[in-house]
Amino acid sequence: MSTADRLRWFARGFGQLLITAGVVVLLFCVYELKVTDAYADAQQDKLEDNLTKQWTAPAGPQGPAVPTTALGKAFARIYFPTLGKDQVRVVVEGVGVEDLKKGPGHYPGTALPGQLGNLVISGHRTTYGAPFRRLDDLDGGDAIVVETRTAYFTYTVRRVFPVSPRTVQVTYPVPYHRDAVPRERLLTLTTCHPPYSAKERLIVQAVMSSTVAKAPGVVPPALQGR
């Protein structure tokens, strides 16, 4: 075999290898973006059914805004009205790998909706339904609504900013002040940043601006017209 033939053989084999690698990468992307989205959609449907059953069942003794919820179970609904009418997700309890495959997750031990302190919710940005895909489209003054069995809690966005994944101080009851006594009702959302990367975390900080008790035909102003 001549040198030219060997070069052609090598080039042909290398080209086929690149094509195969491209197909593998494409299939992986399809799995990441389609299969995981389909899984999350199915889980959200189940969670929505479970949440409806929980909230329509006879109420027990008066308790907190959200009763103690088992990990991975439906916790509340979260709405992003300025991002569109379809921007609503069921939040689960927990931020473990399996929990976040179902939807946004409430960080255990942080405040409940409407409570003093810091309600922390985390979610995926690119896979498993990407519930927090558009967090960077939020602006100061935008409303975020958290719905529980008994009320709608509206939080107003203060700021949107990236931090290091190690900056856990944003989850403290008073962000960055571990031992401070909370005097505000805060909401902190966290997700990966930038998209398709875990280099940083995108943080949305908001403060509660109103509470509307649930009653037939009553919704907070931010959700009117839905």
What residues are annotated to the active site?
124, 192, 201
Q: What are phi and psi of 89, to 5 degrees?
A: -140, 150
Distance, CA of 160 to CA of 25 (rounded, Å): 33
Residue 68 in tokens: 């103690």
Residue 61 in tokens: 């003794």
Distance, CA of 191 to CA of 48 (rounded, Å): 22
Query: What residue has token string 């902190």?
Result: 188
Distance, CA of 143 to CA of 107 (rounded, Å): 21
CB 186 within 8 A of CB 118: yes
